[in-house]
Chains A and B, each alone.
Chain A
């Protein structure tokens, strides 16, 4: 059996989180070997354009490669190399080709994959997670093509906007009351729907697809929808199967980590990005996964310091990982920008704009009891800037509960 890499840090997952982890390991003073294992054939690339400019054909996929700091020039890239199993007790990774890799420290950065509809059949079916997915869908977005989007979260809404802009006939089906309602609350979500409808997208909200046919789908109220292609945008599943062999890990929704991003309390293994479920003291003790682009960077910085302190026997920063969540979404020429956790709010308040107007900036504040917990804006750069002005108020941690 081939055994390689007896020393050093192994990073599993070679995308945004894996790259940032490698860079932050160097910044934290790790000079030893770093090996990145990624099952995709590409160097780390940026996913947000895959449902926007790349999907629309406005940007070349080649332009999505992420900038890499010079400090990671000497890391070893093992691309097209999927890790099939890890044993955190013996510090061993096994690859799908059967080779075995030993490590001192481990970073898990394996992200998520799209959930699929649990039914067979249907017109040509697409998801959007990888460069290849985006290219395959782009080829189907000809003017006049009937596009059925199942799911109205942020990928569903972005694909609907991009397809509509390309001249497709777009229908969205989802069980929620409004598109992106979980992230934005009912008021801003309703305003978002109005803007999609003003541009010609049709919604069947509060509905499930119960059957797929070669011509389209049937909804739970009997409605038949015809489509040339179908996009499944119904959420994601964390890539954790490779960790299942290590006993005692909680992998129920991503990899459960402590406040320093250590996996199952094991000091030499950390997790970052979409796959990590960790408590954020800004929002109480409940550990959560956060699928926002800003999180791989924030968690990588903290996780790298945790791991390097462990491996070098130096003191660790006692403050927990407490990033301020933020996400954006681009739909048509509109930008949605959110800071904080609107999803945890019990009420929202309109600060600027007219939500019934088809255009114009909107700004909402979100509260949990008396506490401002998030802000979200929809509109042009002025809306983004307005949200940013409220950001400092979201940075304070709440008083500890005594």
Chain B
């Protein structure tokens, strides 16, 4: 599974962090950081994170 975030679109809302804390986090500056090939077991979390992104900047593939 691959997670792709369009960082030009992302505005660091952090909603994905609450939905999928094992994939996404906010750094000290409040900027998004994430794991781009997370474990397949995290698929449901990744889908939830894509849903809750207000900018719809997250894609889940594979």
Contacts and interface: CB of A to CB of B under 8 A. Distances in A.
Contact of A385 (B26, B56, B59): B26
B54 A385 contact: no
Contacts of A383: 30
Contact of B52 (A69, A297, A384): A297
Nearest to A48: B54
A397 interface: no
A368 interface: no
Counting chain A residues whose Cβ lies within 8 A of the other chain, the interface size class is: 20 to 34
Contacts of B13: 328, 337, 384
A391 B17 CA distance: 12
B45 interface: no
Q: Interface majority SS on A: helix, strand, loop or mixed?
A: helix
Nearest to B19: A297
A388 B14 contact: yes
A294 B30 contact: no
Given A67-B50, A388-B17, A391-B18, A381 B56 contact: no
B51 A297 contact: yes
Contacts of A328: 13, 54
Interface in B14-34: 14-15, 17-18, 26, 28-31
Contacts of A335: 11
A381 B29 contact: yes
Contacts of B59: 67
Interface in A374-398: 380-386, 388, 391
A20 interface: yes
Chain A CB within 10 Å — which of B11, B12, B13, B30 has the most? B30
B56 A67 contact: yes
B14 to A, nearest CB: 5
Interface string B31-61: 1000000000000000100111010100100
B7 to A, nearest CB: 13
Contacts of B11: 330, 335
B16 to A, nearest CB: 11
A51 B9 CA distance: 17
Contacts of A198: none
A66 B52 CA distance: 11
Given A328-B13, A382-B29, A391-B18, 7 more contacts: A46-B56, A67-B50, A67-B51, A67-B56, A294-B15, A384-B13, A385-B28
Interface of A: 20, 23, 46, 48, 66-67, 69, 293-294, 297, 326, 328, 330, 335, 337, 380-386, 388, 391
28 contacts: A20-B51, A23-B51, A46-B54, A46-B56, A67-B51, A67-B59, A69-B47, A294-B52, A297-B52, A326-B15, A328-B13, A328-B54, A337-B13, A381-B26, A382-B29, A382-B30, A384-B12, A384-B14, A384-B26, A385-B14, A385-B26, A385-B28, A385-B29, A385-B30, A388-B14, A388-B17, A388-B26, A391-B18
